[in-house]
Amino acid sequence: MRMNAIVAGVGMTKFGKHMDRGMKSIGAEAVTAALQDAGLDKSDLEAAYVGNAAAGLVTGQECIRGQVVLRDAGIGRIPVINVENACASASTAFNQASAMVSSGCYDVVLALGVEKLYHEDKRKSFAAFSGAVDVEALVEIKARLAQQAAATGATKAASGAGEKRSMFMDFYAASARAYMEKYGATAEDLAGVSAKNSFHGSLNPRAQFREVLTVEEVLAAPMIAEPLTRPMCSPIGDGAAAVIMISQRKARELGLSNPVRVAASVLRSGWDRAKGEETVAEVCAREAYEEAGVGAQDLSVVELHDASAPAEITTYEKIGLCGDGEGAGLIRDGATKLGGRLPVNTSGGLLRKGHPVGATGIAQIVELTEQLQGRSGDRQVEGATLALAHNGGGSIGSDAAAMCVTILSR
């Protein structure tokens, strides 16, 4: 459907390790900040969409996650819709909230993403990721990853998937090895992504990691799964991000001075693709551009799903920033760094801002909204008018299980 919802306010916690806080505390902080930013009260909310991916496995909270978080913040009575869609949980909540406002069902809706991933038992955290694949095929998936790693001499990646690390790092590592073999990308190119995003993250007070890394430091870090060193892998984290969506009628009533409009939001699931067929990310990006009436060349700033360094490079290609095999070139020439022609992941991305999976998609919207409104301080993209968010989650077969691409305009 054609979107016309307005982002009235955004709020977000600092991402990181919050062992002394629960989802209720973290979620309330983000919601309160978003309401204050919008100049609205919790009594103005007509519905809420709450994204969370892993509470059932990590904290044991099932079934009524959103209601529990919001009730503690003094929000009840309204419909609360719980959204679980792997790493795309928050962007799915945002998509659904935007759709309900655009369709005229509501004038004021909250979209919240909240996650607690840190746990004293690390196996619980890793289990949250292992559950984002077809678990009936889990033994087969692990065996295939180990065989692929061994065949390419990747000794670190040949064992420990889903036990010593998130299984998704093994997916990304296998994809990176294949990409490097096909297109000639190098480990230095992958390290360049992490170094760039570390610079951006150093400028973001809400980022989980704020130290600046050089390419050499990234390459010298401990190997996780060849060719990925630790800074090439997104960390687990705790955090929340919230957005208040309003109708155009409500925006006129409030007299918003610097509104951000949802120009497009496309949500799809992966499928069993024929060879050479578009990926789910390519389809979502193409449809989002068509819905918004713009092209990749019109974008000012992008937040994309860099769960690993090579994922940023390949996503450049999937969302049309360059041609196949040309993604590494954007890193080499500095095109996607602040000051370049199209800054990407100005927040620090998942690699440095952090990746509390159920909050990530809305955290991207928070960053892009503030960029479009000129509120990003030292990491501000000058004259930003059009922004794209790309957020995927889960894995089935050779593609993401869920994918959302959103375009925002000033």
Cite the active site residues: 87, 355
Query: Of 15, 24, 126, whose CA–CA distance to 354 is shortest?
Result: 15
Q: Using an 8 Å Cβ cutoff, are 307 and 234 in contact?
A: yes
**Amino acid at residue number 30:** A
In the block, tokens 């009594």 appear at: 43
Q: Which two tokens stand for residue 225?
A: 């799964």
How far apart CA 217 and CA 40 sit, in angstroms, is 45
CA dihedral of residues 293, 50, 347, 261 (deg, nearest 10): 30
In degrees, rounded to 5, the angle at the alpha carbon of residue 9 between the alpha carbons of residues 378 and 379 is 10
Residues of 167-203 as b/e, b for ≥16 C-beta within 10 angstroms? Answer: bbbbbbbbebbebbeebebebebbbbbbbbbbbbbbb
In the chain, the N- to C-terminal Cα span, in Å, equals 20
